[in-house]
Amino acid sequence: MLYKIYQLCIALPIIFVATVITALVTIIGGLFNAHVFGYYPGKIWSRLICRVLLLPIKVEGRENIDHNQSYVFVANHQGPMDIFLIYGYLNRNFKWMMKKALRKMPLVGYACEKARHIFVDKSGPKAIKETIENARHTLQGGTSLVVFPEGARSFTGHMGIFRKGAFQLADDLQLPVVPVTIDGSFDVLTRMAGLNFVNRHAMRLVIHKPILPTSHSPEDIKTTMNEAYNVIMSALPEKYQGYVKNDDQ
Q: Which residues contact 154 (CB under 8 A, 6 or more apart)?
A: 76, 77, 78, 79, 160, 186, 191, 244, 246
Identify the helix (H) or strand (E) that includes residue 46: helix 40-52
Q: Is residue 198 part of a domain?
A: yes
- In this structure, are residues 177 and 211 in contact, taking their beta carbons and an 8 Å threshold? yes
Average pLDDT of span 53-65: 96
List the CATH number of the domain containing 134. 3.40.1130
With respect to residue 136, please indicate whether it lies within any of the assigned structural domains: yes
Structural domain includes residue 121: yes
Q: Which residues contact 200 (CB under 8 A, 6 or more apart)?
A: 3, 53, 54, 55, 188
Q: Is 54 part of any domain?
A: yes
Number of structural domains (the chain) is: 1
Structural domain span for residue 13: 2-240
Residue 246 inside a domain? The answer is: no
Confidence band for 11, pLDDT divided at 50, 70 and 90: very high
pLDDT at 116: 85
Q: Classify residue 67 as exposed, middle or buried by CB count within 10 Å of its CB (0-12, 13-18, 19+).
A: exposed
Q: How far is CA 49 from the centre of its chain?
A: 16
Q: How far apart are the first and last CA of the chain?
A: 35
| Interval 139-164: pLDDT, tens | 766 689 999 999 888 989 999 999 88
Query: What are the pLDDT digits (tens) for 108-138?
Result: 888 988 888 888 776 666 766 777 777 777 7
**Sequence-distant (≥ 6) Cβ neighbours of residue 102 within 8 angstroms:** 109, 112, 119
Contact 123, 51 (CB under 8 A): no
208 located within any domain: yes
